[in-house]
Amino acid sequence: MTRHRQGVTAEDLDLVEAVGRFALGTLAPRAADLDEREGSCLEHRPALGALGLLGLNLPAEWGGPGASAAGTLLALVEVSKQCAATASMIGAHYLGTEAVYLGGDDTQRRRYLPGAATGAELYGFALTEPGGGSNPADLRTRATREGDTYRLDGSKQFISNAADADRLVVFAKTDMDAGARGVSAFVVDATAAGISVGPPEKLMGIRASPAHPVRLDAVRVPVADRLGAEGAGFRLAMRVLDNSRLDVVATALGIAETALALTAAWLQERHVGGDALAQKQGVQWMVADMKVRLEAAWALAMQAVAKKAAGVPYSMESAIAKLYASEMVAFVVDTAQQLHGGYGYTRVLPLERMARDARILRIYEGASEIQRTIIARAVLAAR
């Protein structure tokens, strides 16, 4: 971690080291059990709030610890090294609070963000729908203005934190015929009448970060809880996803760092034909390929973080980093399993869980195909 210090302050490093100790001492011993029984990593919520992790994406003005963009990435890497499900839960919370921070006014920020930063309130981000998530302009949830309130009707799918959330940021159409320009965003009390949360999905990986279907039937939301103007929701969602893709990158980096470390130790200890596997040239080349891809992902991540910190557009850089890192971690974990032989295919070692956890990274926050579309459009527009 310390080799990637670009834009990292001394305060950041203190925080990252504290998170690393917490992750190793608290998250690591429980990760396999939570995954096995499909429990919830929200049992860590009080400790995560006390550490400042649940407000890490927010400036100090609104209750966050004042971490830099680089410090936030590094802290999430430390979490992901030990428990990707916990990182996913934190990332889902960030999606909601980021939407309030970027799309809300100061009255809304003052009302909603300080409690979220301490973990007193948990957020979910209700964008994806049963009909699809890759094109939010097509969403069918409707928001109908009725005096000083909106009536929300529709269904959402794969909503992380939904069962335990205090607030949901819900995206709905205020104009069903306007495409992306008809999408608006609302802060919704998760206990409001008309909201029903279905049973958790039977997920392949990150099983300790439950995702749920959510139904909204005549849910009343005050006009004052709309984020920005009517029709501003799509642009807000895209800005939030630029940020959250870096959270996915952090998860990929954390998983890959652990997979490589486990593999290096295994190759020194495992002997075949009287020699450690680490002495075999073919094995060494496989390790080199793992390391090169991991370091390339780090470089792309820090490039995106630097642009974000500078306050300049970084949508393409975020997409590049997310695309590469999510595909990198699949390669690194698969190679780690190959080098562990039959043991890599067992549940005795964490590699099997890591392989399942890593698979979602190529799907959520925009599938790899969506990242390629974002990148290509940026390149062609620049020409």
My answer on whether 284 and 310 are in the same domain is yes
Exposed, middle or buried: residue 159 (CB in 10 Å: 0-12, 13-18, 19+)?
A: buried
My answer on whether 263 and 322 are in the same domain is yes
Q: Which residue has the higher pLDDT, 274 or 295?
A: 295
My answer on whether 310 and 220 are in the same domain is no
Query: Is 298 within the bounds of a domain?
Result: yes
Position 44 scores a pLDDT of: 97
Other CB atoms within 10 A of residue 66 CB: 16
Q: Which residues of 329-363 are buried (b: 16+ CB within 10 A; e: fewer)?
A: bbebbbbbbebbeeebeeeebbbbbbbbbbbbbbb
pLDDT mean across residues, the chain = 96
Percent of the chain with pLDDT over 70: 98
Query: Is 4 within the bounds of a domain?
Result: no
User: What are 99-137's pLDDT values in tens digits?
Assistant: 999 999 999 999 999 999 999 999 999 999 998 877 888
- Cα torsion angle, 203, 253, 96, 126, sign: negative
Position 383 scores a pLDDT of: 72
CATH number, domain containing residue 213: 2.40.110.10
Cα gap 196→189, rounded to integer Å: 12
Q: Is the pLDDT of residue 1 over 70?
A: no
Confidence of residue 27 (pLDDT cuts 50, 70, 90): very high
Nearest to 261 by CA among 286, 284, 283, 287: 287
| Range in 4-13, 80-89, 299-308, 319-328 with the lowest mean pLDDT | 4-13
Query: Is 2 within the bounds of a domain?
Result: no
Query: Is 5 within the bounds of a domain?
Result: no
- 3-class SS at 303? helix
Position 95 scores a pLDDT of: 98
CATH number, domain containing residue 97: 1.10.540.10
Q: What is the mean pLDDT of residues 282-306?
A: 98
**How many Å separate Cα 18 from the centre of its chain?**
20
pTM of this prediction? 0.96
Position 8 scores a pLDDT of: 82
Query: Is 146 within the bounds of a domain?
Result: yes
Which pair of structure tokens corresponds to residue 113? 């963000």
Q: Is the pLDDT of residue 13 over 70?
A: yes
User: What are 273-292's pLDDT values in tens digits?
Assistant: 899 999 999 999 999 999 99
Q: Which residues of 14-46 are buried (b: 16+ CB within 10 A; e: fewer)?
A: ebbeebbebbeebbeebbbebbeeeebbbebbe
Q: Is the pLDDT of residue 341 over 80?
A: yes
Domain boundary among 215, 231, 247: 231
Range of the domain at 365: 235-382
Cα gap 237→181, rounded to integer Å: 12
- Cα torsion angle, 156, 159, 164, 168, sign: negative
Which pair of structure tokens corresponds to residue 359? 């698979």
My answer on whether 168 and 258 are in the same domain is no
Which pair of structure tokens corresponds to residue 281? 């040239």
Cα gap 10→304, rounded to integer Å: 21
Domain boundary among 101, 118, 135: 118
Position 134 scores a pLDDT of: 77
Position 256 scores a pLDDT of: 98
My answer on whether 225 and 246 are in the same domain is no
Query: Is 1 within the bounds of a domain?
Result: no
Q: Is the pLDDT of residue 309 over 80?
A: yes
My answer on whether 254 and 197 are in the same domain is no
Q: Determine phi and psi for 274, rounding to 5 degrees.
A: 90, -10
- Known active-site residue 129: no
Position 136 scores a pLDDT of: 82
User: What are 316-326's pLDDT values in tens digits?
Assistant: 999 999 999 99
My answer on whether 227 and 239 are in the same domain is no
| Range in 1-5, 79-83, 257-261, 343-347 with the lowest mean pLDDT | 1-5
User: What are 241-269's pLDDT values in tens digits?
Assistant: 999 999 999 999 999 999 999 999 999 99
Check 11, 98, 365, 369 and give the catalytic one. 365
Looking at the structure of the chain, the number of domains it has is 3
